[in-house]
Structure 1
């Protein structure tokens, strides 16, 4: 049985909106909570959704909440169980496809900052152990591969591939390093939990193989009919206009980083910056803090 939390709306005393409109927003939020379990099971997410719908209503009347609703219907959110199942699928594929005595698994991480690629690599190696592959060579930084010896293939591991430019940049840099060392360039493969279809297509030729568990469409361009696209982009522009243009030195990426229009997150994960920023950006235009629907560590 799914447990749904219905949270009564808390009216902002400073709000001048008619009470009837607030009730409408509350009803809409509760409808979403009933139909979208990853929201309805968590009180904090329901409250954040109410805030987002009110914000969207203020920015673009009924068209704003309606767009938010359509995007949530298109959203891919991985529960813990779904995440673990995809890891198992990845582990089985790797075990069946690669000679793990001659292959090194590498996170795409490039520096000392926290990175979801390292989390996926850690969990993937643990999952491989669960199917009997107890000794798997792995590195938590991709460039460390240039110091390794006695292997034939590298498998770059990540959580999310958006535009694909940073992912393929790792490949090009590795080839450059091996070439400078006058060493044979190993076969380079890529695997990720999730990827944007367009990004994947644009970089696939750079890899011996490139695979993801979930391939995503762009949230507006690949879903809306041509005559609806103009309206949805216009509404999204108005919704983004109430967000701060910068936060802690980071620019708000319109439509998500590289205009990816991504609609993805997972339980206990940090929302990718490729996702529409209305779902994760932490600050309003007038430097007021927001309570976004999805967390992202900046």
Structure 2
């Protein structure tokens, strides 16, 4: 690597120190680029990644708890804090719910709230705790959260028809991070939405208008180096163009796949910048 690129890389590490231990993988990604313009685009995107480390996650969780206490504290006895998980399988929603049990977070959360580890469990006890706050780490398109809300509304309708025509529930959604388009979609279905971090599309919303189309073309060209299986999403799932990563977390498939796809054509030893567990 020439001195110019080394300088660019160290400048990037100054902005994003957490990338420094990924230098070898980053070099592989640079080698994949066709020219300096591709490299500049990759470096620009990485410089704008929203990285959530262990300490900053605690800050964002406190922010969410403050919102919950302020908005729903007087009705805490009627609320469940529920992982936005369909069943008991481990996922990001479960990890956020578990973090709510940690000492610094549980100390500031009002005691009347109860924690429920899956939506299926939350729905079963809606006749006792009718209001639900869905917790998750990240919303890329908002589609998954909306499907969870629809399940809750279906149960609400059942209870209204069966027992009490006046029965109604509140559904709130609290997220560590979300794309702004996801927040807007969820707002159409939930009574309240709060995301501690709100992100825009990495190219479409953040790159200068005169360079936007060229940047999209360059990214799509880089994506041609990867196998297009059913888990490969151009520009990220839902074309989200997300730039987000949580330390010790599973990088969302809404992020540009050049950063996480394991299936590079003609390179069985390829190791992406970020590991993603499907």
Structure-2-length-normalised TM-score: 0.90
Q: Distance in 2 between matches of 1:26 and 1:74?
A: 19
Distance 1:136 1:217, change over 3 A: same
Match of 2:141 in 1: 163
**Is structure 2 residue 147 aligned with structure 1 residue 139?**
no
Identify which of 97, 101, 104 aligns with 1:121: 97
Q: 1:150 aligns with which of 109, 118, 128?
A: 128
Q: Which moved more, 1:68-77 or 1:279-288?
A: 279-288
Which residue number corresponds to residue 219 of structure 2?
236
**Which segments of 5 or more consecutive residues in structure 1 lack a partner in the other structure?**
1-20
Q: 2:171 maps to what in 1?
A: 188
Corresponding position of 2:25: 48
Correspondence for 2:153: 175
Paired residues, what number? 269
Using the alignment, how far apart are the partners of 1:282 and 1:185 within structure 2?
46
Structure 2: runs of 5 or more not aligned:
none
* Distance in 1 separating the partners of 2:152 and 2:111: 27
TM-score under structure 1 length normalisation: 0.84
Alpha carbons of structure 1 residues 146 and 132: separation in structure 2 relative to 1, 3 Å: closer
The Cα offsets for residues 85-110 of structure 1, whole Å up to 9 and x where unpaired, read as: 11111112212221221110111111
Q: 1:194–1:216: 8 Å Cα contact kept in structure 2?
A: yes
Whether 2:70 is the aligned partner of 1:96: answer: yes
- CA drift of 1:27 comes to 4.2
Note the C-alpha offset of 1:73: 1.9
Q: Which of 265, 270, 275 in structure 1 is aligned with 2:250?
A: 270
Deviations 1:218-266 (A, max 9, x none): 00000112221110011101111101212xxx42111000000000011
Partner of 2:203: 220
Q: How does 1:1-150 map to 2 (within 5 A)?
A: 24-40=4-20, 42=21, 45-56=22-33, 60-98=34-72, 99-126=75-102, 127-131=104-108, 133-134=110-111, 136-148=113-125, 149-150=127-128
Q: What is the CA deviation profile of residues 136-177 of structure 1, one whole-angstrom value per residue up to 9, with x for unaligned ones?
A: 311111122221032241101110011111111111121113
Q: Report the RMSD for the aligned CA atoms in angstroms.
A: 1.9
Query: In the aligned structure 1, how far is the partner of 2:226 from the partner of 2:10?
Result: 25
